[in-house]
Amino acid sequence: MFSGGLRLTDLNDYITPGQECIKPVPVKKSGRSDGSHIQMDTTGEYFEVTKDGASTKLEAATISLNDCLACSGCVTSAETVLITMQSHTELLAVLDENRTLRDMGKGDEAKQVVVTVAPQSRASLALKYQMSTQTVAKRMTHVLKSMGVDYVLDSAFGRDITLVESAREFVRRYRESEGKVGDQLPVLASWCPGWVCYAEKTHAEVLPWMSTTRSPQQMMGAIVKDYMAKRLNTSPDRIYHVAIMMCYDKKLEASRDDFYNDVYKTRDVDCVVTTGEFDRLLRETHTSFANAPEAQLDSLTNSKDCVYASAGTSAGGGLEYIMSYAARELFGMDVSPDLVAAVGKGEAQHPLLQVKLVRSQSDHREITLLDPHTKQPLLQFAAVYGFRHLQNLVRKLKSKRSVYHYVEVAACPSACSNGGGQLQPEDPSPGAKKQWVAETERTYARDAKTRPEDNVRQFIYEWFGPHGLDSSDAQRVLHTQFHGVVATANPLGVSW
């Protein structure tokens, strides 16, 4: 089905599935031979034909997302995965079923449909349709609600909770390790499912360094299926949660068993639709996005301005926010996320912040916070984007040559603005693609900046009670775990 095993030579940031990607298929055997054989008809369907001429249609084997995640044979850039469970057609099917139930007078059996939209997806659509991200958000809200969606939310809210909890996790691990790189440090960002899948299947030894805080997508999953379900006085399985995301690998993340509710038999995120799939949905439903009316997004708080950004790149702003938070909590230094971001981009300078482009590559940046008295490093952070640079990072981690306290990781070069599910320029040339990604990144950064802790403080206490993020419920709901996969060699995977 796929080409030979994974190649780590001549990397171009695209990792193909390996030949070892197999799924055991149970075969029912009668224990005796009756002379039956297999035939294929003119439509390509397979039938088992018995000796007396009776035929039985054979079921086609399929590979689901769970099969892909359970397999130890490949590391995948998910454009090549045969995804059969999640797409815009699944969303339309659920909306059609809801309409049918309501037409039959069974509206109480219809599911509440909640859609959360990633800021990176809004930026990509804004660039294509030449409008602001605010306008994109409002038109997406109107289009989705006109199709039957009940709530449309900005996933930046989940990102803010992820930022706050990730910063708390980093400070805790820093203090427990006394700032020494080793068992608990560096903390490796785990928001990128492509990176997580790669680490689990090929470098399980780095998993103890992974941040256990949920990604923004899965944080929204917890919010929708836990907090919103309680507010709506319904059970989690009566909500159908769709995430519009920049990356196909987000479908794999949503399918992880760690985000499955065994009690209610439901996932935190039921379906992931990429930016490109949403745009395809517009075309297939003959919706003119350029002329669509606008509607206000729904809000989980009293805020009316539901579209905002965090300081930093489209990877989510983890490096900038966590460095700022850690500087304040650990050393009493006031270094804002916006300042860290500006220095990191070369737009500003600060005597206590040093930036280095490793091998002159913007996709591998080191940012160091210096002691104001000794000018020695206090915090050493890095941003590593793209598999070429990930390989170098993993080598340093394995050889214990890494000096970083925190690493923001993204599998895609230029981070999430360049996600595999994003819209592409009409000109396929590398230069045009590079310019398109850069402009998408600038569009993403234009949203108004806010302080994540201010956005979510009241909400956190409403959700988890007076102990907030320190409560046992918060620690259980907001964190996840990772699983190294033991590879099983497949002799059929040998390249002859």
Condensed to tens digits (0 to 9), the pLDDT of residues 81-113 reads 445 567 899 999 999 999 999 999 998 999 999
- Chain length of the chain: 496
The string over 114-149, giving b where at least 16 C-beta atoms fall within 10 Å of a residue's C-beta and e elsewhere, is: bbbbbbbbbbbbbbbbeeebbbbbbbbbbbbbebbb
Token pair 């046992």 is found at 472
Residue 160 predicted with pLDDT over 50: yes
Residue 64 predicted with pLDDT over 60: no
- Mean pLDDT within 393-400: 93
Residue 166 predicted with pLDDT over 70: yes
Q: Indicate the burial class of 291 (C-beta count within 10 angstroms; 0-12, 13-18, 19 or more).
A: exposed
Condensed to tens digits (0 to 9), the pLDDT of residues 356-392 reads 998 878 899 999 999 999 999 999 999 999 988 998 9
Q: 38 has which bridge partners?
A: 48
Residue 350 predicted with pLDDT over 50: yes
Closest CA relative to residue 147, chosen from 281, 239, 272: 281
- CA–CA separation, 210 and 191 (whole Å): 10
pLDDT of residue 53: 76
pTM here is: 0.83
CA dihedral in degrees (458, 464, 465, 471; nearest 10)?
Answer: -120
Condensed to tens digits (0 to 9), the pLDDT of residues 200-227 reads 988 999 999 999 999 999 999 999 999 9
pLDDT of residue 259: 96
pLDDT of residue 16: 44
